[in-house]
Each structure stands twice: as structure tokens, then as C-alpha cells.
Amino acid sequence: MGDETMAARAPAGTHDVLWPESTRWESLVAAFAVQVEAAGYGLAHTPIFEDVRVFKRGIGEDSDVVGKEMYEFEDRGGRALALRPEGTAPVVRAFIQHRPPVPWKAWYVTPAFRYERPQRGRYRQHHQLGVEVLGITDADLDVEVVSLADRFFRSLGLASFDLALNSMGDDVCRPGYLETLSAFLAEHRDELCPEHRGRLEANPLRCLDCKREECRRTTLGAPHLVDHLCEPCRLHLARVCGGLEALGVPYSFDHRLVRGFDYYTRTTFEFSSTALASAQNGIGGGGRYDRLVEMLGGPPTPGIGFGIGIERLLLACDAEGVYPVAPAALDAYVVDVAGGEWARDLTAELRAAGLRADRAFEGRSMKSQLKSADRSGARVALIIGPDEVVGGTVSMRRLRGTGDQRSLSRSEVVDAVRDTREDQS
């Protein structure tokens, strides 16, 4: 393969989203926007790259995301930057910088970058939808955030997914639990997987969500964080559970759910599709991060949010056979074999009237233009040939169904095309 061919390929682990699949993306993002904006969330756009410390401090240097997967680079001015590996830390950085009044409810849609081994449903550039709320400790907000994600999934037609819930405790109760857990793990060190045998002390919680058989077996008898929560954390969790039950959001407890980032406190949750293979079935998740704003240099401010991977979510939709999105068909395709002026003016007129219209170019033959009209999926063809020019009329032909044709005066065209739209719905 020559160099030029290589340069014309998307980099490994990335993918193009082209029409008509892109229609589905457009529709998905729009559906998400409508639902979260109806709940008071506003769009936040932040840069695709940040000072590398935003992620190192927030996510934790010993996490795989920061340690192994982040796209770090130095710009021409010698600044240490990183492409965003996730959506939360940048939104929190923006909050600290601009200090909007709290509660601040933001949503985002963004690419996220991780240098991972490319495989199905896992990309080096993937895309996330998410929400973040800053400034509220109330457990009812946790219920709102979790149920927003649940409702969004159901609105797409998804039914085969589970919600796992856990509490990570807080600075009061987690340290004591970590000691208990570390003591348990130290006793069973030889039974852990090779990676965790070596770096047990760095973060004992990671053994709980380790996927390797040795760690899973060994931690079966490990103490659970939920049994070691302080009273405020216990009450918070009870209120979250009660709220989810009241709103009819099914969930189950998963004491292994510790998620990969250091910033989580109290509520953590994860949605997984039961229609996808278990190694790649996470469709969204998040949690409370009451210390993240401080970790990034802001005033003590609680926060909570979730992120949803768009690629994975669409794979789950495919696996369940739901959320097919057909591109919106054209209303009309203008076929002009009389010089092109009518096509030029009529498409402009139709579009100005809010109709979807396209046309052929370069003065091709009637047969060729009609073929394009048919391929375009348009409902009607508007035909201007020599007879029509003489008579000052336009022939409207149905391209779907009956195929009947009638003659219209120029001033009737827009209304006639609009009427065919209503016939269909």
C-alpha cells in the first residue's frame, strides 16, 4: 500500500459516521437534548483538549485511563495538554472557571479519546452524551439523574438492560472500609491476579471490579462497602433507593461496582445491555463526585452526572432491533430539461417554504434525471420539459405508489407538494 492510500484511511480505532447512519446519530442527540432540556439542563461545550492536570488530578494518576490510555501531547508553546478521555472533568473545570450560580445543570455531547486496543464497540475516538449537576447534595437529585438515563434508554425502545447501583461512601466512612478491605486482600494476596498481587496498596478497590477469575473468586468473601457506610451515607443511599422505587426504575445492588475514577463518592451506577456480550455491554454510567471540584482547585461543591457511549448504545439498539431511524425523505425532486432556470428558482422556492427539495444539475437527459429523482427517495418529481415551458406549467408525478401525474400552474406547486406530505401522514 502506497503512502497516499494510507493517508486516505481513518486512523486505527476511529470510524466515520456517514449518511444515512449519521441521521440516526442526529436523531439520538436531538432526542437526548429534548429530554434533558425539559428537565432544566443546558448545553455546555468545552474544548476537546485541556491542561493535562485537569485529568491527572480528577481521574487519578494510577487509573488506566490516565496511566495508559490518555492522548497526551505538548503544543508548540510547550504546554502539556491531553485530548479529553471522558466528559466530566472538563465540565467541572469550566464550572470552576466561570462560577455559574448553583445548582448548575449541564449536558454535553462530545468525542472522547482513549488509546485502547480497537475492538467492536470500543474506539480510540468514541462519542459521549452526558449530564452533570453541580451544587446539590440532595439524594433526590441522584434519583433524577439516574432516572433521566433510564427514561432516555426506554424512549429509544430499549428494554433489555440492567441498572446496577452502589455507594462509594465518603471521606468519613471510606478510609475505614479501605483498611478492612486491604487487610482482607493482604491475607489473600497470593490468590489475586498477578497485576493486583503487585499493586494492591495503590487502590484496593480495583480488585473488586477486576474481571480476572482469580480476583473475582478471591473477593467473593470480601467485606462490602455498603455494610461500612456512616449514618449520613446510609441515609443518602436509602433515600436514593426509595426514590428509584417510587419512580419505577428497576435496579439491583452490585457491591463490585466501584468504577474506575478516583473522584466518585456515594452513589455510583452503571447501565448494561443484556442484549450485548458481557465484556462490552456497558451503555452508560456515572455517579456522585462530591470532592472533584475541590480536587481541581475550586470551592467545595458537590456534583453528580452520567455519561452514555453513543456507539455502544446504538449497538445495543441494533441487538434489540429497536431505534431504526430512516432519513427524512425529500418532498420533491425537480427535473428540468428546459435549461435549468426553473429548477434553480423552484427548488429555492420550495426550500424557503420549509419543504425538502433537491434537483439534478448539468442539464442531463429526462431519463437520467428521472432516475436520480427515483433514487433520491423523493415523494414527487416536478417535471419541466418543453411542453411545460410553453404552457407555463409544472407536471407533478408521484414517485411512490400510484405514479399518477398532473399538471399544475406555477403558483400552485408549493401547496400541491405540501398536500402530498399530509396524504402520507
Residue 112 C-beta: closest distance to Zn ion, Å: 25
Residue 230 C-beta: closest distance to Zn ion, Å: 3
| Of residues 210 and 313, the one with the C-beta less far from Zn ion | 210
Residue 212 C-beta: closest distance to Zn ion, Å: 5
| Of residues 212 and 410, the one with the C-beta less far from Zn ion | 212
By CB under 5 A, tell whether 39 contacts Zn ion: no
- Contact positions with Zn ion (CB under 5 A) in 95-154: none
- Report whether 333 contacts 373 (CB < 8 A): yes
| Of residues 225 and 380, the one with the C-beta less far from Zn ion | 225
Among 106, 145, 215, 293, which residue interacts with Zn ion (rule: CB under 5 A)? Answer: 215
171 to 210: interface string for Zn ion, x by CB under 5 A: -xx-------------------x--x-------------x
Strand 104-113: give its sheet, edge to edge. Answer: 42-43, 104-113, 125-134, 303-309, 282-288, 265-273, 161-167, 252-253
By CB under 5 A, tell whether 212 contacts Zn ion: yes
| Of residues 193 and 389, the one with the C-beta less far from Zn ion | 193
Whole-number Å distance between alpha carbons of 269 and 261:
13
Handedness of CA 258, 260, 266, 269 (dihedral sign): negative
Amino acid identity at 115 = Y
- Contact positions with Zn ion (CB under 5 A) in 259-318: none
165 grid coordinates: 447501583
Point out which span in 233-241, 320-328, 352-360, 378-386 binds Zn ion (CB under 5 A): 233-241
Burial class, 203, CB count within 10 angstroms (exposed 0-12 / middle 13-18 / buried 19+): middle
| Of residues 80 and 172, the one with the C-beta less far from Zn ion | 172
Residue 167 C-beta: closest distance to Zn ion, Å: 8
Instruction: State the Cα angle at 367 between 361 and 369, rounded to 5°.
Output: 25
Grid cell 430512516 — which residue?
Answer: 326
Among 82, 94, 222, 233, which residue interacts with Zn ion (rule: CB under 5 A)? Answer: 233
| Of residues 92 and 173, the one with the C-beta less far from Zn ion | 173
318-343: b or e for each residue (b if 16 or more CB lie within 10 Å)? ebbeebebeeeebbbbbbbbbebebb
Point out which span in 226-234, 344-352, 376-384, 417-425 binds Zn ion (CB under 5 A): 226-234
Among 230, 319, 322, 338, which residue interacts with Zn ion (rule: CB under 5 A)? Answer: 230
Whole-number Å distance between alpha carbons of 288 and 132:
9
Whole-number Å distance between alpha carbons of 281 and 37:
27
Whole-number Å distance between alpha carbons of 323 and 155:
9
| Of residues 210 and 314, the one with the C-beta less far from Zn ion | 210
Interacting residue ranges for Zn ion, rule: CB under 5 A: 169-170, 172-173, 193, 196, 210, 212, 215, 230, 233
